[in-house]
Amino acid sequence: MCGIVGYLGQNQAYPYLIEGLKSLEYRGYDSAGVALMNGSLRVFKKQGKVRNLEAFVDGKNLSGNAGIGHTRWATHGEPSDQNAHPHTTQKGSLALIHNGIIENYETLRKELISRGHVFESETDTEVLIHLIEEIQINNHCMLEKAVQLALQRVEGAYAIIVMSKDDPEKLVAARKSSPLVVGMGDNEYFIASDTMAMGQHVNRVVYLDDEQIAICRSTKEIEIKTIEDIPVTPYIEEFDSNLSILDKQGFEHFMLKEIYEQPKSIRNGLRGRITPDGEIHLKGILEHAERFCEAKRIIIVSCGTSWHAGLVGEYLIEKYAKVPVEVEYASEFRYRDPLITDEDVVIAISQSGETADTLAALEIAKEKGAFTFGICNVVGSSIARVTDAGIYTKAGNEIGVASTKAFTSQMTVLTMMALQMGKIKGTIERAELRDRVKELDRLPDLIKQALSGDKITHLIGDLFAQASNFLYLGRGVNFPIALEGALKLKEISYIHAEGYPAAEMKHGPIALIDENMPVVVIANSKENYEKVVSNIQEVKARNGKVIAIIETDDRDIFKLADAVIEVPKCSELLTPFLSVIPLQLLSYHIANKLGKDVDQPRNLAKSVTVE
């Protein structure tokens, strides 16, 4: 996690750094800091969000044409001014910011202490700046050489930017397993964890690869080498800086805006891949048709909300393409010596494309010869780049830490994949395929209708906001939606919530039900409808409070439940898309009513680049 940003050019660095940090706060918001170069190196850092830093520097001299900035998600050492980045050396001539974890920092720290170094923070990062300084002094070398030599000694993950008082016209950046992109304008450089932090003057970008170092000098072209000093020809891509504009567009929070954007984000994901008259053309699958058709097994690896999308994918791929699918938490998969062969296809699902566990799971899959496929939202992200092939979800920037539109876009891609595979393998009838694709084409309009029920959801959210626990129940393809509804509520409202397959309730969770327990039942699906009605009755018999997601005009459940939220009638295939909309809204309204920080909930970060 953590967001890093650097500027070098003809303009004042501070305004770019602070704006960049604001757009990177989704990566962590425990502390923020900047270092500015103007003859000397000045460092300002403060615990808490970027706005605390802004208040702290108010009235201070912030001039300088070069600078670096950091927003932190704490790993080593509590959130505090002391542990905030940038870190500097004892002599105050170098400053460094870091995203990642230096795994062998204990060993390096002991070594450095034995040679007289004094540490000021509890962070793993500080060892790196001491090491760079020591190497530079001992070898009388340039900053970039010292960075290369220091990084050769580091185990773990890093994206760093270093600046030196003695070499003020230069920024040195490097990465391994943490994202870093260098943006270029006219005689100016913007370096950041994400293109969202790039200023509006950037027109070209270079994504660094693992173990590469970029040397940016104010009047020269970018130079890239490996940390072993092998020169690399930079792959420079055109960049449209308008895409990085962040705006809530009148909504109170990014999360609400993103929930409302779903008709559009889903439409973007479908565009060019299906036609209204029922044709499907998913390039990512067609180009690798053989691998998918001959796959003995598909394994989906992911985390959090993306894992829930994977579970939906499992139902759909098994149903339409008749390939066995396993869905694994990437963090478990990577540590359990999984049985993978070159006949397997491993699909990684990730909004950010940077999740450390998912990346590590992919590495194992690759080592074992599997064909790897990425479903990512962030273009050019690490997962998108390390996989053999993939499909972008095209949901657009997702800023709210709680994932909403990225989830429905992941489900959209997985639905198209299942149908495309079924078509190639001949496991789905032509007529059925046409009908399913036509339904998919109607999905954005149905989502729009589901969003129109927001007023009721808001009222229900206000009514139940004081509950301490929630249970979410769903069956079949809507079971993962129950998990997702519970996760959404926990992460932004801090209310304890559990998702269960409805039939599992009687095997344990039913013991929790009393008049204080709201139970959210997903009941808009016709598969197992009668059984879901029985589950509702079981809850009611124990005085539980039922909030049911139902199809429009379902009078039976309307009479049974304490509260209902109606979603439009649709085929079974689309029910998870429609049931998740009120669940996203419900958690949003509850969290908002409780006065929580909806977009940046405590302890979380959008991009989990540590394991």
Q: What's the rounded Cα separation, in Å, for the pair 358 and 410? A: 15
Compute the least distance from the CB of residue 353 to ligand M6R, in Å: 7
CB 67 within 8 A of CB 34: yes
Using the minimum distance from each CB to ligand M6R, give the nearer residue, 381 or 420: 381
CB 288 within 8 A of CB 441: no
Smallest gap from residue 601 Cβ to ligand M6R (A): 8
Identify which of residues 64 and 400 has a Cβ nearer to ligand M6R in the complex. Answer: 400
Least distance from ligand M6R to the Cβ atom of residue 279, Å: 30
Cβ-contact 227, 243 below 8 angstroms? no
Rounded to the nearest 10°, the torsion over CA 101, 254, 523, 527 is -60
Q: Judged by CB, which is closer to ligand M6R: 227, or 492?
A: 492
Stretch of 174-182, 397-405, 496-504, 575-583 contacting ligand M6R, by CB under 6 A: 397-405
CB of 304 to ligand M6R, least distance (A): 2
554 binds ligand M6R (CB under 6 A): no
Count CA atoms closer than 13 A to 277's CA, side-chain side.
0
Q: Which two tokens stand for residue 154?
A: 């580091």
The two three-digit tokens of residue 512, written as one number: 């929790």
CA distance 221 to 475: 57
Pairing outcome for strands 237-238 and 297-302: unpaired
What are 58's two structure tokens?
A: 């108010």
Sites for ligand M6R among residues 276-315 (CB under 6 A): 303-306
Q: Rule CB under 6 A: say whether 402 interacts with ligand M6R.
A: yes
Site string for ligand M6R, 435-474 (x = CB under 6 A): ----------------------------------------
Nearer to ligand M6R, 265 or 305 (CB): 305
Are the C-beta atoms of residues 237 and 203 closer than 8 Å to each other?
A: no
Q: Which C-beta is closer to ligand M6R: that of 359 or that of 440? A: 359
Residue 238 main-chain phi, psi, to 5 deg: -65, 150
Smallest gap, in angstroms, from Cβ of residue 196 to ligand M6R? 14
Give the number of other Cβ atoms within 10 Å of residue 211's Cβ: 18
Element (H, E) at 463: helix 454-464
Task: Work out which of 136, 244, 393, 403 binds ligand M6R, going by CB under 6 A.
Answer: 403
**Binding piece for ligand M6R, criterion CB under 6 A, among 109-117, 346-354, 521-529, 557-565:** 346-354
Q: Which residue has the tokens 């984000």?
A: 265
* 274 φ, ψ (degrees, to nearest 5): -135, 165
- Return the residue of 195, 351, 412, 579 that touches ligand M6R, per CB under 6 A: 351
Distance CA 499, CA 305 (A): 13
Q: How far is the CB of 411 from ligand M6R (least distance, A)?
A: 13
Interface residue with ligand M6R, options 83, 350, 408, 525 (CB under 6 A): 350
For every residue of 154-176, DSSP letters joined together read: --B-EEEEEEETTEEEEEEEEEE
Pick the stretch among 106-114, 204-212, 399-407, 509-517 that binds ligand M6R (CB under 6 A): 399-407
Shortest reach from residue 550's CB to ligand M6R, in Å: 25
Backbone angles phi, psi at 212, to 5 degrees: -110, 150
**Measured between alpha carbons, how far is 104 from 101 in angstroms, rounded to an integer?**
9
Q: Look at phi and psi of residue 52 and say left if phi exceeds 0, alpha if psi is from -120 to 50, else beta.
A: alpha
Which range touches ligand M6R (CB under 6 A), out of 104-112, 350-358, 434-442, 496-504?
Answer: 350-358
Q: Which is nearer to ligand M6R, 73 or 479 (CB)?
A: 73
Q: Which stretch binds ligand M6R (CB under 6 A): 45-53, 345-353, 534-542, 545-553?
A: 345-353
Based on CB atoms, which residue is closest to ligand M6R, 298 or 395? 395
* Token duo for residue 557: 């459940």
Q: How many residues bind ligand M6R (CB under 6 A)?
A: 16
d(CA 269, CA 9): 37
Between 65 and 302, whose beta carbon lies closer to ligand M6R? Answer: 302
Residue nearer to ligand M6R on the CB measure, 149 or 604: 604
Cα gap 410→269, rounded to integer Å: 9
- Nearest distance, CB of residue 608 and ligand M6R, angstroms: 5
What tokens does 4 get?
Answer: 């890093």
608 sits near ligand M6R (criterion: CB under 6 A) = yes
- Least separation in angstroms between residue 255's CB and ligand M6R is 9
Judged by DSSP in three states, 488 sits in helix
The interface region with ligand M6R, picked from 231-239, 395-403, 497-505, 528-536 by CB under 6 A, is: 395-403
Q: What residues pair up with 348 in beta bridges, in sequence order? A: 301, 374
Catalytically active residues, by annotation: 2, 606
Count Cα atoms within 13 angstroms, Cβ side, for 101. 14
Residue with tokens 């409808």: 529
Looking at 95-231, list the stretches that DSSP marks H as alpha helix, in order from N- to C-terminal side.
Answer: 105-114, 125-139, 143-151
Nearer residue to ligand M6R within complex by CB, 66 or 481: 481
Closest approach of Cβ 400 to ligand M6R, in Å?
Answer: 8
Which stretch, 153-161, 245-253, 349-357, 577-585, contacts ligand M6R (CB under 6 A)?
Answer: 349-357
Mask for 171-200, x = binds ligand M6R (CB under 6 A): ------------------------------
Considering only residues 354-383, where is the footprint of ligand M6R by CB under 6 A? 355, 358
CA atoms within 13 A on the CB side of 303: 24
Cα 414 versus chain centre, distance: 18
> Contacting ligand M6R (CB under 6 A), which of 89, 352, 409, 600?
352
* Site residues (vs ligand M6R, CB under 6 A): 303-306, 350-352, 355, 358, 401-403, 491, 604, 607-608
